[in-house]
C-alpha cells in the first residue's frame, strides 16, 4: 500500500541546522560580509540573513548577490557552508559572506549584528534583516521548536529593534491557519495550527509583534518547491515516484484523502523575490492600507491552487506510473492508525530506494538529503490553501512561476542529477 499527503510547513522554511556545531566564527571577506571599497556611502541596503544556509536562505542570498541589491550581505547559520550541500551556483554568495553562530543565544547577537565602520568611521547597522532560520525537522518535541524557532526569532528580533533595523522580515508558514479548503486570508483563524512547527512559528510571530520599535513584516508561505528541494513535501513525493517507476510488476501510486486536498505551492525563486519586495515595502511603510491589525502579515502563493490531484497528474506524466487515491475504507483506517500507515509506507519503500542508489553507484558517502522516507506530518488530512491577494495588491508581487508544472518537476529532477542525488 502506498499513501501520500502533504500539509507541512514549507520545504526549507528554515535552515536545517540541528546537529551542527554552534557559535564558531568563520572569518571571511571583511568581517564576514561583502561591501564596496569606496569612500562614498553606498546607497544600497546592508542585509543580514539569519538561517542563510537553509533552502530559502540560500536562494535569497543568491538573488541578492546576483542582482547586486545590497551594499553588504552577511549570512548567519549554525552549520558550515561545506556541510550544507550547496549547489555550485550558490557557493559564492553563501560562502564568502558567512558567519557561523547560534542566533538563539543572547551573547551571539553582537557578533551577528556588528558591522565594520563606514568609509568615514561612522557606525553602521543592517538595514534589512531576514529571519529564514528555525527548526525544520518533523516530529520533534515542543521544547526543540521553542528553542530553535521561537527563541531564535525573538532573540534576533529584539536585537534588530535595538539597532533600528528598517525592515525585519520573518519567514513563517501558511500551516498556522486552521485547515480549510477555501483559500485562507490573513484575517482567518489560527487556533488550530497543523503541526508543532506551525504552533511555534505562530508564537514567534506574536512575540515579535510585541517588541517595541521592531519594523516587522511576516510572510506566510505554502509549500516552497524548486531546484535542490530535497527534504519534505516535494522531495519525498519524487523519491517515492522513482521507487514506483522502477518496480516490476508495476504498481499504482496512491495518495490518501482524495484529489481535492489542497497543497498550495510557491517556487523558491518567487519566494526570494517576495522576501526582498516585502523588505523594501516595509522600510517605507508603517501599516497596510485599510488594515487595523498591529501585526503586518502577508500570505504569498502562486496561481495554481495546487492540490493532490495536480501532483498525481504531473507525476503520472513525468514518471509514467499509474496514480490514484485510496478509497473510504483505507482513509478511515489511516485516520485512526496514522503511525501504523506511515511505518508501512516506509517499510515498503526505503529498501527499494537504497537498492536504486546502490545500482546507480551512489555510495553512502555521496548520498544527499533526498529520500522517500515519509513523516507523519506529511500524511495528515489537512488542506493548505492560501489567498495571496493582499500581498499582490499592496506590494505589487506577481509570481513568475505561476503554477507547478511537468516542466518544473523535470527541472527539479535535473537539479538532483547535477548534485549526484538521483538514481
Q: Nine-digit cell at 286? A: 508603517
Q: What integer pLDDT is reported at residue 30 of this predicted model? A: 39
| Numbers of helices and strands, H then E, in the chain | 14, 11
Q: Nine-digit cell at 160? A: 534588530
Per-residue pLDDT tens digits for 74-98: 999 999 999 999 999 999 999 888 9
Q: What is the mean pLDDT of the chain?
A: 91
Cα–Cα distance for residue pair 45/400, rounded to 1 Å: 24
Return the sign of the alpha-carbon dihedral for residues 367, 368, 370, 376: positive
Checking if the pLDDT of 331 tops 90, the result is yes
CA 97, 30, 72: angle at the middle one, nearest 5? 55
Per-residue pLDDT tens digits for 32-69: 454 444 567 889 999 999 999 999 999 999 999 999 99
Cα–Cα distance for residue pair 58/381, rounded to 1 Å: 31
Residue 379 φ then ψ, to 5°: -120, 30
Which of 69-73, 163-167, 362-366 is predicted least confidently?
A: 362-366
Q: What integer pLDDT is reported at residue 13 of this predicted model? A: 39
Name residue 299's beta-bridge partners: 220
User: Could you state, in order of their start, the residue ranges of all structural domains in the chain?
Assistant: 29-225+264-299, 232-263+306-382+403-419
Checking if the pLDDT of 207 tops 70, the result is yes
Cα–Cα distance for residue pair 151/40, rounded to 1 Å: 38
Q: Do 66 and 93 touch, CB atoms closer than 8 A?
A: yes
Cα–Cα distance for residue pair 423/417, rounded to 1 Å: 8
Q: Do 103 and 50 touch, CB atoms closer than 8 A?
A: yes
Q: In which residue are the cell numbers 519586495 written?
A: 277
Cα–Cα distance for residue pair 237/312, rounded to 1 Å: 10
Checking if the pLDDT of 126 tops 90, the result is yes
Q: What integer pLDDT is reported at residue 39 of this predicted model? A: 60
Q: What integer pLDDT is reported at residue 119 of this predicted model? A: 82
Q: Nine-digit cell at 12? A: 526549507
Cα–Cα distance for residue pair 56/339, rounded to 1 Å: 30
Q: Nine-digit cell at 180? A: 480549510
Per-residue pLDDT tens digits for 350-403: 999 999 999 999 988 888 899 999 999 888 999 999 999 999 999 999 999 999
Checking if the pLDDT of 261 tops 80, the result is yes
Q: Do 218 and 296 touch, CB atoms closer than 8 A?
A: yes
Checking if the pLDDT of 184 tops 90, the result is yes
Proportion of the chain above pLDDT 70, given as a percent: 91
Q: What integer pLDDT is reported at residue 109 of this predicted model? A: 97
Q: What integer pLDDT is reported at residue 61 of this predicted model? A: 98
State the angle between helix axes of 406-419 and 308-319 in degrees (0 to 180), rounded to the nearest 10. 60
Per-residue pLDDT tens digits for 11-40: 433 443 433 333 343 334 434 454 444 567
Q: What integer pLDDT is reported at residue 292 of this predicted model? A: 85
Return the sign of the alpha-carbon dihedral for residues 83, 86, 88, 92: negative
Q: Do 340 and 346 touch, CB atoms closer than 8 A?
A: no
CATH superfamily of 29-225+264-299: NAD(P)-binding Rossmann-like Domain (3.40.50.720)
Q: What is the mean pLDDT of residues 97-122?
A: 94
Q: Which residues contact 280 (CB under 8 A, 6 or more apart)?
A: 167
Collapse the DSSP code of 263 into the 3-class scheme (helix H, G, I; strand E, B; otherwise coil) and give the result: strand
Per-residue pLDDT tens digits for 279-324: 999 999 999 998 988 799 999 999 999 999 999 999 999 999 999 9
Checking if the pLDDT of 164 tops 80, the result is yes
Amino acid at each position: 500500500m502506498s499513501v501520500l499527503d502533504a500539509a507541512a510547513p514549507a520545504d526549507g522554511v528554515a535552515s536545517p541546522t540541528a546537529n551542527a556545531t554552534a557559535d564558531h566564527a568563520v572569518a571571511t571577506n571583511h568581517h564576514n560580509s561583502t561591501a564596496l571599497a569606496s569612500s562614498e556611502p553606498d546607497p544600497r541596503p546592508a542585509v543580514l540573513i539569519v538561517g542563510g544556509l537553509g533552502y530559502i536562505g540560500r536562494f535569497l542570498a543568491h538573488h541578492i548577490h546576483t542582482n547586486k541589491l545590497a551594499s553588504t550581505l552577511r549570512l548567519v547559520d549554525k552549520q558550515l557552508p561545506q556541510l550544507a550541500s550547496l549547489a555550485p551556483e550558490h557557493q559564492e554568495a553563501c560562502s564568502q559572506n558567512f558567519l557561523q553562530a547560534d542566533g538563539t543565544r543572547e551573547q551571539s547577537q553582537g557578533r551577528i549584528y556588528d558591522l565594520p565602520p563606514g568609509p568615514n568611521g561612522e557606525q553602521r547597522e543592517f538595514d534589512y534583516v531576514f529571519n529564514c532560520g528555525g527548526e525544520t525537522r518533523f516530529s520533534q518535541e515542543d521544547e526543540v521548536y521553542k528553542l530553535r524557532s521561537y527563541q531564535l526569532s525573538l532573540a534576533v528580533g529584539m536585537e534588530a529593534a535595538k539597532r533600528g533595523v528598517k525592515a525585519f522580515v520573518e519567514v513563517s508558514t501558511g500551516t498556522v491557519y486552521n485547515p480549510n479548503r477555501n483559500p485562507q486570508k490573513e484575517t482567518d483563524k489560527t487556533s488550530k495550527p497543523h503541526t508543532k512547527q506551525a504552533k511555534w512559528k505562530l508564537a514567534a510571530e506574536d512575540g515579535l509583534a510585541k517588541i517595541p520599535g521592531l519594523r516587522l513584516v511576516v510572510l506566510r508561505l505554502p509549500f516552497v518547491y524548486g531546484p535542490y528541494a530535497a527534504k519534505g513535501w516535494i522531495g519525498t513525493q519524487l523519491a517515492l515516484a522513482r521507487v514506483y517507476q522502477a518496480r516490476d510488476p508495476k504498481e499504482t501510486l496512491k495518495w490518501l484523502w482524495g484529489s481535492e486536498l489542497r497543497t498550495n505551492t510557491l517556487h523558491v525563486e518567487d519566494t526570494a523575490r517576495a522576501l526582498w519586495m516585502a523588505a523594501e515595502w516595509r522600510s517605507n511603510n508603517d501599516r497596510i492600507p485599510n488594515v487595523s491589525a498591529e501585526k503586518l502579515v502577508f500570505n504569498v502563493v502562486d496561481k495554481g491552487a495546487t492540490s493532490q490531484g495536480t501532483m498525481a497528474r504531473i507525476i503520472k506524466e513525468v514518471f509514467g506510473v499509474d496514480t490514484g487515491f485510496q478509497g473510504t475504507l483505507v482513509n478511515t483506517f489511516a485516520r485512526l492508525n496514522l503511525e501504523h500507515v506511515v511505518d508501512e509506507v516506509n517499510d515498503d519503500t526505503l529498501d527499494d530506494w537504497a537498492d536504486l542508489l546502490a545500482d546507480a553507484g551512489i555510495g553512502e558517502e555521496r548520498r544527499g538529503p533526498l529520500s522517500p522516507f515519509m513523516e507523519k506530518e506529511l500524511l495528515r488530512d489537512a488542506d493548505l490553501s492560501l489567498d495571496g491577494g493582499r500581498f499582490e495588491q499592496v506590494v505589487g508581487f506577481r509570481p513568475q512561476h505561476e503554477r507547478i508544472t511537468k516542466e518544473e518537476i523535470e527541472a527539479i529532477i535535473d537539479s538532483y542529477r547535477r548534485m549526484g542525488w538521483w538514481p
